[in-house]
Amino acid sequence: MEVFNELKTSPHISLALGFFDGIHEGHQVVIKNAINIAKKEGTKSAILMFREHPMKFITGAKTKNILYIEDKLSYLEKIGVDEVYLMDFPSYENLSAEEYIKDVLIKYFSPIAITTGFNHSFGKNKTGTPALLRELQSKYNYKYFEIPPITCSQSVISSSAVKKAIEEGNVFFAHSLLGYKFFIKSKVIEGAHIASTLGFPSANINYPENIVEIPYGVYYVIVEYKGEKYNGILNHSKSPSLFPTNKPKTEVHIIDFDKNIYGEEIKVSFVTKIRNELSFESKEKLSAQLLRDKAFVEIYKYYVN
């Protein structure tokens, strides 16, 4: 797969349009439709997407993503996309919807087909819609494909639905919507070594600022380090009882693991939430709860794919 940081002429290809945050099950249908058309017509498939979410520039608000850009590209390559074009939103935000079609899509790609989701929007003030893409397909000589809503457990799959599930701690449902486990990546940092005194040595990490955040609590996770996977227990909290702090901290107890990994990056995939954040009156009560958390993982791990 080729990745381009600016537009270049690549005519008569099959395009898929969207931001594709998370590349969830609905996004995958959109992308695979573009790929299948390309294969049928003997041409290339391409993704046209903005590097950062447009809402960051429209509202000025800090946006939280589901996937890191490098992992988004990795997933696109695995799916089978031929080309990806990463665009900077400010360069295009003042184009009207038809100008975007004419001066970007047609000028550079003369696509044989364009595929989007049912709720895709583009152009200044988001005036570009699937209806417009359908209306202009004869004028600009492409065929338009609108993918209808894809559902899971009677819920429409969308990036906002995935984020809502994660923000509510329902990471198991988020997995169903995504088609893979939600994860974060971070380097292990020096901690206070408090967990070690309780018999549960933990890897402290910083929760990524630009990734959608889970609520405080304790989670069963899968930790990946240098290609090996381990069961683990992640605590994301402000330590409300024995060792309170003003800043949230994230620590992972990796089960049956005793390597020194300070400064090393780990990938933490969320399986399910074990419990909410709790307060403890003593180290003994905290230690007893940690044993119960570990027992939960030891049982639940046999049901994890």
Closest CA to 66 of 21, 20, 19, 28: 21
How far apart CA 54 and CA 63 sit, in angstroms, is: 9
CATH code of the domain covering residue 55: 3.40.50.620
Give the pLDDT score at 242: 57
Whether residue 187 sits in one domain with residue 146: no
Higher pLDDT, 61 or 103: 103
CA 35 to chain centre: 21
Please tell me the total count of domains within the chain: 2
- The average confidence (pLDDT) of the chain is 90
Whether residue 113 sits in one domain with residue 208: no
Task: Compute CA distances 71 → 14, 68, 183, 287, whole Å.
Answer: 22, 5, 11, 36
Amino acid at 112: I
Residue 88 has pLDDT above 80, yes or no: yes
How far apart CA 146 and CA 153 sit, in angstroms, is: 22
Q: By the 8 A CB rule, do 46 and 81 touch? A: yes
In a domain, 176, yes or no: no
What's the pLDDT tens digit per position in 216-239?
999 999 999 999 999 999 999 876
Whether residue 142 sits in one domain with residue 6: yes
Whether residue 197 sits in one domain with residue 89: no
Residue 304 has pLDDT above 60, yes or no: yes
Whether residue 138 sits in one domain with residue 14: yes
- Of the CA atoms within 13 Å of residue 47, those in its CB half-sphere come to 32
Residue 53 has pLDDT above 90, yes or no: no
Higher pLDDT, 287 or 108: 108
Share of the chain above pLDDT 90, in %: 71
Whether residue 136 sits in one domain with residue 96: yes
What's the pLDDT tens digit per position in 174-208?
999 999 999 999 999 876 655 555 556 788 999 99
Q: Determine which of 39-43, 133-137, 190-194, 296-300 has the lowest per-residue pLDDT on average.
A: 190-194
Whether residue 287 sits in one domain with residue 205: yes
How far apart CA 198 and CA 192 sit, in angstroms, is: 12
How far apart CA 149 and CA 155 sit, in angstroms, is: 9
- The structure tokens listed for 76 are 């696109």
Q: How does 79-94 read in b/e, with b if 16+ C-beta sit within 10 Å?
A: bebbbbbbbebeebee
- Of the CA atoms within 13 Å of residue 296, those in its CB half-sphere come to 18
pTM of this prediction?
0.91
In a domain, 59, yes or no: yes
Whether residue 134 sits in one domain with residue 31: yes
Give me the domain span that covers residue 258. 181-303
Give ∠ CA 188-229-24 in degrees, rounded to 5: 90
Q: By the 8 A CB rule, do 205 and 266 touch? A: yes
Give the pLDDT score at 56: 81
143-147 and 113-117 as β-strands: parallel, antiparallel, unpaired? parallel
CATH code of the domain covering residue 244: 2.40.30.30
What's the pLDDT tens digit per position in 98-112?
999 999 999 999 999
Whether residue 298 sits in one domain with residue 219: yes
In a domain, 142, yes or no: yes
Give the pLDDT score at 62: 81
Q: By the 8 A CB rule, do 219 and 272 touch? A: yes
In this structure, the chain runs to a length of: 305
